[in-house]
Structure 1
Amino acid sequence: MGADMRFRGVISPVVVPDTPDHKLDIPSYERSIDRMVDAGVDGLFVLGSSGEVVFSTDGRRDQIIAESRRIIDGRVPLLVGIIDTETERVLEHGRRALELGADALVATAPFYALGGPAECEEHFRILRDELDAPLFAYDIPVCTHTKLSWQLLAKLGREGVLAGVKDSSGDEASFRMLVMANAADGGNMSILTGQELVVDGAYLYGADGSVPGLANVEPYGYVRMWQAAQVGDWATARAEQERLNRISRIFNVTSGVVGYAGGVGAFKTALWLMGIFNSNTMPRPVKALEGDNVDAIEAVLKDNGLL
């Protein structure tokens, strides 16, 4: 797919199923990817936050990309996270991802050795110069401790450095300013929201798509919401969003867990209960949800017609 390709619609991040001995569960992975593609998603994003990128060795990253490419088989674009601490490491991941069939690359700001706006800008310019693929900036300051300003992102889009932005910052004002700036520049970038509970609002003010982790559990509603937004049916878009938000209670009904265990752990537990994953195993050292937490998620799924 060409470097000038636009990415729009529902680009679902892919939650990774693990076997009890912490290997990639390929049959479960096939079921999940096929289900999302059959539901009508417009692309898949692997090796992001939901895709265990920071838990994965280089060998496991390679396996996830290769299996994703094989299963997708050209049906939708494959976006691959090349997330790492600093530029040279990210470049290595990017080269390998392209060898394995990535259609686009997704990178965060550098982290751990913290810099400033100048270093972030240079980081993305180097990646674009040395990697022959559409490049997305992934704005996730909760993990990188750096917020990418909308002004910088708009500048990099205007100058052809970035093909798009995946915004998981939670800063809706900044996101809206970026959408406006991108539109004023002629819509050079695909601006995607990662805020899965307010996607309808993002579509209303011009976002090009969404990257909702909850689409692993319920892809059909996100596809219907996107389709409704394309024809200006905002009542349907709102209804779909509110239904999805009720399903998202799987994150709120657990107790005694925080962070990855409660978020991605809820995804994996729901997918396990629905028969898509063979287990809800988490990457070490994270413990899988069990007992009352599993029962609580099961109740939410039943209340919303998913079981």
Structure 2
Amino acid sequence: MTFPAPLTGVVPPVCTPLTPEREVDVPSLLRLVDHLVGAGVSGLFVLGSSSEAAYLADRQRRLVVESVVGHVGGSLPVLAGAIDMTTPRVLDHVASVTAAGADAVVVTAPFYARTHPAEIARHYRLVAARSPVPVVAYDIPVAVHTKVAPDLILGLAADGVLAGLKDSSGDLAGFRAVVTGARTRPGITGFSVLTGSELVVDVALALGADGAVPGLANVDPHGYVRLHGLCRAGDGEGARAEQERLCALFGMVGVGDTGRMGRNASALGAFKAALKLRGIIDCPATAEPQVPLSADEVQRVEEFLAGAGLL
């Protein structure tokens, strides 16, 4: 499928179901895809943070892309993360996921080694020059320890290097600057500005964002599609109520005891526990070395689902 310009709507960052042995559970993955597509999402983003891409072996990454692309059969765009530390490694992932059929690649700033904004720009230019599909920037400073400045993003967009931005920075002022610049800066056309937040989708869309990439949409895609529709229809009161329901549901990410596990393990463990409780995936396992949720913590996830009307 040709990557739309701009990409709009709800594009869930698809979780990667695993077997107890920590292999990709393809049947569960395809049921999850059906769950998302059936809710009316506008695209799928595989191999992102919610996909546990950083934990997957290269063969597992490729299997995920091949499985999802083959299953949707071009009915909606599939974006694939090409996330790694340096440009040569990212280019290896670009070659792999595009050969597997991805319609666009999603790329962070380089990490591990300290970088300069000029090197981040060079990174994106080199990746775009070698990529056969559009490149979407992924701004996630909590993971890569670098904030990609709005002017850098907009400059690359104006030069045709970037086709979009997934913003998971939490910097609403910076996000607003990109949204405004994408609309007003000469040379920028068809650039997709997507929020990665679960909690301020209504605000982001009101600012002019094109869509959202919320991890919680794995659990409740219908809610986010409904929220997007309410925002586009100008129903502020309805959108606010739906956003607040989703904010309450998002509380599940805090069920894990951070005295014994990381916040990432708690959040992804909650998403997967919820998907298991909803009958969509077979096993809630997260990738090693993440600590699994306890039975009591899973019970709390169930309570969040019940409170949101999802059980």
Q: Unpaired segments of 5 or more residues in structure 2?
A: none
- Residue 79 of structure 1 aligns to a residue whose secondary structure is strand
Contact 2:154-2:181 at 8 Å conserved across structures? yes
Contact 1:165-1:190 at 8 Å conserved across structures? yes
- Residue 12 of structure 1 aligns to a residue whose secondary structure is coil
Aligned residues: 307
1:79 counterpart = 2:79: yes
- Residue 31 of structure 2 aligns to a residue whose secondary structure is helix
1:167 counterpart = 2:167: yes
CA–CA distance in 1 between the matches of 2:242 and 2:43? 20
Contact 1:158-1:188 at 8 Å conserved across structures? no
Using the size of structure 2 for normalisation, the TM-score is: 0.96
Q: How does 1:34-73 map to 2 (within 5 A)?
A: 34-73=34-73
Contact 1:5-1:134 at 8 Å conserved across structures? no
Task: Give the root-mean-square deviation of aligned CA atoms.
Answer: 1.2
CA–CA distance in 2 between the matches of 1:203 and 1:187? 18
Q: Which residue of 1 aligns with 2:268?
A: 264
Contact 1:9-1:42 at 8 Å conserved across structures? yes
1:285 counterpart = 2:265: no
CA–CA distance in 1 between the matches of 2:305 and 2:217? 14
- Residue 291 of structure 2 aligns to a residue whose secondary structure is coil
Q: How does 1:9-24 map to 2 (within 5 A)?
A: 9-24=9-24
| Residue number among 295, 298, 301 corresponding to 1:297 in the alignment | 301
Contact 1:282-1:288 at 8 Å conserved across structures? yes
Contact 1:195-1:212 at 8 Å conserved across structures? yes
Q: C-alpha displacement at 1:287, in angstroms?
A: 2.2
CA–CA distance in 1 between the matches of 2:238 and 2:159? 37
Q: Which residue of 1 aligns with 2:7?
A: 7
| 242-251 or 191-200, larger mean C-alpha shift | 242-251
The AA in structure 1 aligned to 2:246 is L
Q: How does 1:174-185 map to 2 (within 5 A)?
A: 174-185=174-185
Q: C-alpha displacement at 1:217, in angstroms?
A: 0.3
CA–CA distance in 2 between the matches of 1:146 and 1:250? 28
Q: Which runs of 4+ in 1 moved over 6 A?
A: none
Q: C-alpha displacement at 1:5, in angstroms?
A: 3.5
Q: Which residue of 2 aligns with 1:146?
A: 146
Q: C-alpha displacement at 1:231, in angstroms?
A: 2.1
Tell me the percent identity.
45
